[in-house]
Amino acid sequence: MGNGAVLQGVLLLMLLGHAIVPSAQAWQSSGGPSNSATATADGSWPGVDLNVLVRDKRGVPQKVSERELQLFEDGTERQSHFADSADSPVSLALLIDSSGSIYKRKPEILATVTNIIHALPADSEVMGVLFAGIAYIDLPLTPIAKVDLSFLDRLDTRGPSALWDAMVATENHLVANAKYSRRALVILSDGEDNASTLNAQQALRLIEKPGAPMIYACRINDSPGFWNSQGRADSYRGHRILKVIAQWGGGVEIDLGLDPASPAAQIVAAIQDQRVLRFTSAGPTRNGKRHKLELRLPGKDVEIHGLPGFYAPPK
């Protein structure tokens, strides 16, 4: 399948209670994908919003000024500015693994999600997507004051896992419908995928877009003694997959340990200091070309998180 076909074949999130279409064949039979994600995400093109996080070597978020932060697009420095305030609301998507491999970690998942939601800035909005072989919007984008946590009761923890498909579809829906420029996608998963129609290369390409959220990949350790059908533990492979997702999503990988308050606190602290850097692309043509991005803070020994690149909108 070529890149153009992949872009058109991105799995779509439907209305509340409807599944994400599980295969390209399925969406083609229903009349093809909606254009809403492209239209909304590209509305300000060639303006680009880049979610950025700066941390010290211990992983502690750092506050920086826009005058310190340098942005380079395809090797050339671009003028940029912060498009938000430090305490502005956030549009947050929670992508929660509901497959059989994480069945013993349900209490920690529930506690982590609850802690994150309760600590978000005022007026933020949240959506919740539970996925196994198919993903569902169990909580549409909702103001935090109106969030009903009973959607977590549908966390069944059974079936296969289509992580790549669910991740791309969730990000597309968030970019198309989010109210705020500060955006975050929190993935709670063991990193395993045995049911996606997209492969890793396709999925990672599709999450590089203007207005993409900062990705926080929260790794759910395999339950002790859990083995797959081939008789081997898959925790190391899942760890590598989530690490790659965090890197390509411009974000951070976090371990879900025995104490759910710890990863929740790390994610909340990072979101609170996450900023949106706005700039105008030097290549305004709608040609689907990839633009490399680099962020620098001269004279400071820090980690800067942000998309390593993005694809211009297609024609």
For the cut 80, the answer to whether the pLDDT of residue 28 exceeds it is no
**Cα separations in angstroms, 276 against 11, 29, 152, 175:** 27, 38, 30, 14
Q: Report the alpha-carbon distance of residue 220 to residue 255 in Å, rounded.
A: 7
pLDDT of res. 220: 86
Grade residue 24 by pLDDT with cuts at 50, 70 and 90. Answer: very low
Picking from 164, 172, 244, 170, the residue whose alpha carbon sits closest to that of residue 198 is 164
Q: What pLDDT is attached to residue 138?
A: 96
Q: Is the pLDDT of residue 193 over 70?
A: yes
pLDDT single digits (tens) 85-125 = 878 999 999 999 999 888 888 888 999 999 999 999 999 99
What CATH number is given for 91-272 in this structure? 3.40.50.410
Report angle CA 138, 143, 148 to the nearest 5 degrees.
45
Look at residue 22 and tell me whether its pLDDT is greater than 80.
no
Residue with more model confidence, 271 or 232: 271
pLDDT(1) > 70 = no
- Counting Cβ atoms within 10 Å, is residue 308 exposed (0-12), middle (13-18) or buried (19+)? middle
> One-letter amino acid identity for 132?
A
Q: Mean pLDDT over all residues of the chain?
A: 83
Does the pLDDT at position 50 exceed 60?
yes
> Residue 42: its pLDDT value, please?
53
Q: What percent of the chain has pLDDT over 70?
A: 82
Query: Is the per-residue pLDDT at 254 higher than 80?
Result: yes
**Structural domain spans, the chain:** 91-272
> Helix (H, G, I), strand (E, B), or coil: what is residue 103?
helix
* pLDDT reported for residue 230: 46
Q: Note the pLDDT of residue 43.
A: 66
Residues pairing with 78 in the sheet: 71
Read off the pTM: 0.85
pLDDT value for 238: 86
At 12, give phi and psi (nearest 5°).
Answer: -110, 140
Average pLDDT over residues 175-185: 97
Tell me which residue of 44, 14, 51, 42 sits closest to 30, measured CA to CA. 14
Is the per-residue pLDDT at 2 higher than 70? Answer: no
Helices then strands, counting H and E runs in the chain, come out as: 8, 14
Is the pLDDT at 156 greater than 90? The verdict is: no
Region 116-139: what's the mean pLDDT? Answer: 96
Cα 174 off chain centre by: 9
280-288 average pLDDT score: 93
pLDDT tier at 45 (50, 70, 90 boundaries)?
very high
